[in-house]
Amino acid sequence: MRGQRGGQALIANQYAVGDAQDAIAARGQRHVMGDQDQAHAAARLHALQEPDDLGLGVIVERKPDFEKGLDDALSVLRGFGGEDVHILGRAGIAEEYRAAFANEEVIHSCPVERFRDLLSLKIGALLADPQDWDVAVIKDAATAAGLLGVRITSVPRLEVSPVCGLERFRGSYHEQLPGCCILMLTSGTTGEPKRVRLAYKSFERAMLTQASLERGSAEGATQLKRSPTLLTGPLVHIGGTYHAVAAIVCARPLAILEKFNVADWHQMILRHRPKVTALPPTALRMVLDANIPRADLSSLRCITAGSAPLDPDMADAWQARYGFPILDVYGATEFAGAVAAWTLEDHQALWRSKRGSVGRALPNIELRSVDQSGTPVAAGNVGMLEVRSQQVGDGNWVRTTDLARIDGDGFLFIEGRADDAIIRGGFKVLPPDVEAVLRTHPDVQDVCVVGIPDARLGAIPVAAVQAKEGKNASLHEAELLAHARKHLVAYQVPVHIKVLPDLPRTQAMKVSKHEVRRLFASVSPDEGRPA
């Protein structure tokens, strides 16, 4: 991709190492990496494209052929010399979100708008498999945008061909974004997902850091590793993209789960026997509640968790049952990945005294907490978290919206988000404090506390509660309010609590706070009275 030959060479090197081994597995299908079909498809694509600098979009998804299609598409584009590439996730069309990533766009759309954003991207050509081209909204949008349509297949061999009626480009280009690798979609936890521009150098440094952390690699020629990466997260978000590309960079096989569920994840663990894998806290809770036998997870040395706060009690329960830890990781889309994490060594030595931390800064990362003026606060005091590294912000301090404290040993504790604070009649309510109390109720599985506008007090706290399985009908608001009043001061107690079988979540399985707010759209102003 445009001018980024170092990263391309690193990825290209990995594509040549796996001819004798399975590189990708999904739904029982296995693939190896080879170059002959890719070279043929690249030549065919080059013949189709006119003019030769046409911006290109690729529709891919986390399905059996997804990662094979991603690998093939990247190889085709490498042979073709692709300068301007978008990869569109079709899964979000069927659900609530879809995205485009790789040189320049990750986009979001609601179901009603469907492919409206595609029309505004001004890409020149669109690659998709036959199943995708059978979706009327995709072909209609491509036709309306004047795109060159290209059908790509991976089985039995990789081939490309023009789509009937879309043999020529008739549209216009979008503006160039020099140095931009991805406009990555955020998770949409606190509001509608937005696009964050990630520079090539940031993403490449993140990948190189991951490669440098890989252990046990033989010196000399690159070898495809035996222990696979289990890909369970959506690629429309940074976690899924990071793990997918990092696996390629590190020459590690991929086992792909189209959509997370405990039964299929369980079978993947038994089949592939990974040493390390990653899951968000919500999925970890689902696995823990399923009571999978300890022996079935015996290949794992640890599980990493990110994307949402990890409940320390759940982490302790997990280790007690399975004998290995959950290692918390802290990062953000803006950082192109993680900036702090637990290591196995730290966890074994310090978990009891640092319980609740998200770990220490990763190599070449600096962290600090500051007050509103930007002055660093003393160790152990809460402030606004700032991050500095060559991976982020050209080496300058970058301020986040997270409230954090860093102890004398460098362990980072996230205390919530500054923009989540609810000012109720002049009193500050921090949602994590209220959520922690409500989670102590024996029938509560998960909680989300948000603020909604109030004419008299400015804002008031409300809570959505996910009941434990089988408890939804018997758990009532009055009981939860009484529980809250026993442990919170009056201004912290939610004005209203809704009990739900499930909390609204994003594709990354994080609670969607703006969807929770919508649940309380009908709350009347006079409900802002003291609880």
* Residue reference for tokens 């009055």: 478
DSSP 134: T
Looking at residue 150, its pLDDT comes to 84
Q: Angle at Cα 260 formed by Cα 256 and Cα 261, nearest 5°?
A: 125
d(CA 422, CA 168): 54
Angle, helices 238-249 vs 5-15, to 10°: value is 70
Segments making up each domain of the chain, as ranges: 5-202, 257-415, 421-524
- Cβ count near 309 (within 10 Å): 18
356 pLDDT above the threshold of 90: yes
CB-CB contact of 147 with 58 (8 Å) = no
Give, in words, the CATH class of 257-415. Answer: alpha beta
The answer, yes or no, to whether the previous bond of 156 is cis (omega within 30 of 0) is yes
Most distant CA pair in the chain, distance: 72
Report, as an integer, the average pLDDT of 38-44.
50
CB-CB contact of 66 with 6 (8 Å) = no
* Residue reference for tokens 């609601």: 110
Beta strands in 311-396 (DSSP E): 326-332, 337-341, 360-361, 366-370, 383-388
**Residue 210 tokens, joined:** 């991951």
Helix (H) or strand (E) run with residue 139 in it: helix 136-144
Looking at residue 412, its pLDDT comes to 97
350 pLDDT above the threshold of 70: yes
d(CA 45, CA 498): 54
CATH number of 5-202: 3.40.50
Would you list the DSSP string of 161-211? EEPTT--S--S-PPPP-TTEEEEEEP--SSSS--EEEEEHHHHHHHHHHHH
CA distances from 511 to 55, 332, 514, 517 (A): 35, 16, 9, 11
d(CA 166, CA 170): 9
Looking at residue 194, its pLDDT comes to 63
Topology match between the domains 5-202 and 257-415: yes
Looking at residue 507, its pLDDT comes to 72
- Whole-prediction pTM: 0.68
Report, as an integer, the average pLDDT of 371-383.
93
Looking at residue 142, its pLDDT comes to 85
Q: Is the dihedral of CA 74, 195, 432, 96 positive or negative?
A: negative
Lowest mean pLDDT among 48-57, 100-109, 233-242, 365-374: 100-109
Lowest mean pLDDT among 11-20, 358-367, 431-440: 11-20
* Residue reference for tokens 């696979």: 228
Looking at residue 126, its pLDDT comes to 80
Looking at residue 6, its pLDDT comes to 44
| Strands across the sheet containing 412-417 | 366-370, 383-388, 398-406, 412-417
Looking at residue 103, its pLDDT comes to 30
Decide: helix, strand or coil at residue 411. strand
Query: Which of 411, 324, 286 minimizes the C-alpha distance to 361?
Result: 411
The burial class, CB within 10 Å (0-12 / 13-18 / 19+), for 295 is exposed
Of 25-34, 72-81, 190-199, 458-467, highest mean pLDDT: 458-467
Looking at residue 291, its pLDDT comes to 93
d(CA 481, CA 263): 36
CB-CB contact of 281 with 311 (8 Å) = yes
Give the mean pLDDT of the chain: 75
Looking at residue 395, its pLDDT comes to 73
**Which has more pLDDT, 491 or 9?**
491
The burial class, CB within 10 Å (0-12 / 13-18 / 19+), for 115 is buried
Kindly report the backbone phi and psi dihedral angles of residue 56, in degrees, each rounded to the nearest multiple of 5, phi listed first: -125, 135
Q: Which CATH number fits domain 421-524: 3.40.640.10, 1.10.10.10, 3.30.300.30, 1.10.3720.10?
A: 3.30.300.30
pLDDT in tens, 301-321: 999 998 788 989 999 999 999
